A and B are shown apart, each in its own frame.
Chain A
């Protein structure tokens, strides 16, 4: 299957208009296969992205460009259970996850 998600890039463009991700420590809640993670990680200082679906996280890890891997961390977890250090991020991004 050759699915093309958001070919016009409107999602990412709208997200980047919504806030300045530059040099931000980002927590992404419900990252899915990481298609938006890659876009925001390009300017963020770090991204901690999680999703409850293990298959999606496997895909996200495998498709994450090598130049972003040092600043992106993917984890299998649900929003109800994830443990994140208090006041450790500058921006929380909810992507269709809630």
Chain B
């Protein structure tokens, strides 16, 4: 979703929700995702295009909470690890992402790693209730 107009899109989606209904928002948060293999940090992805969108969506929910459309209930940080058999597997998967880029140097390293590679992401889950 484009940051522009996010509140209006959220407002429209929330019309589908019954009063008192629940909103659960799972999203990734900075810093950029970290790549490692064999205990060695290979680098970080470039989320400079992704995070502004994610943050805009979060801000959109906060705006609706500020307008008393939603009531904030709770928030929980979550660390996630995605495992890939090889660096090439990770590159292949990341190529399908629209807003996350693999820096050139990291891509070169990953292409040569034949061992398991791990991708560490920081996420959080927020819960709201519709008023």
Interface set of A (CB-CB < 8 Å, partner B): 1-8, 10-11, 14-15, 17-19, 24, 27, 29, 36, 78-80, 82, 84-98
The chain B residue with its CB closest to the CB of A95 is B26
- A93, B24: Cβ atoms under 8 Å? yes
Q: Could you list 9 examples of A-B contacts with CB < 8 Å?
A: A3-B82, A7-B82, A8-B81, A10-B79, A18-B24, A87-B16, A87-B19, A96-B123, A98-B56
Main secondary structure, interface of A, reads loop
Interface set of B (CB-CB < 8 Å, partner A): 1, 5-6, 9-10, 13-19, 21-28, 53-54, 56-58, 60, 74, 76, 78-85, 89, 92-93, 123, 125-127
Q: Which 4 A-B pairs have the closest CB atoms?
A: A98-B57, A84-B16, A4-B83, A14-B78
Contact of B22 among A7, A11, A90 (CB under 8 A): A90
- B85, A2: Cβ atoms under 8 Å? yes
Task: Give chain A residues whose Cβ lies under 8 Å from the Cβ of B1.
Answer: 78-80, 97-98
Q: A15-B26, A92-B21 are in contact. Are A84 and B85 (CB under 8 A)?
A: no
- B17, A3: Cβ atoms under 8 Å? no
Main secondary structure, interface of B, reads strand
CA distance A17 to B53 in the complex (A): 25
Q: A6-B81, A17-B76, A84-B13 are in contact. Are A98 and B21 (CB under 8 A)?
A: no
Interface core residue of A85, A86, A98 (most chain B CB under 10 Å) = A98
CA distance A96 to B99 in the complex (A): 12
CA distance A98 to B92 in the complex (A): 23
CA distance A78 to B2 in the complex (A): 11
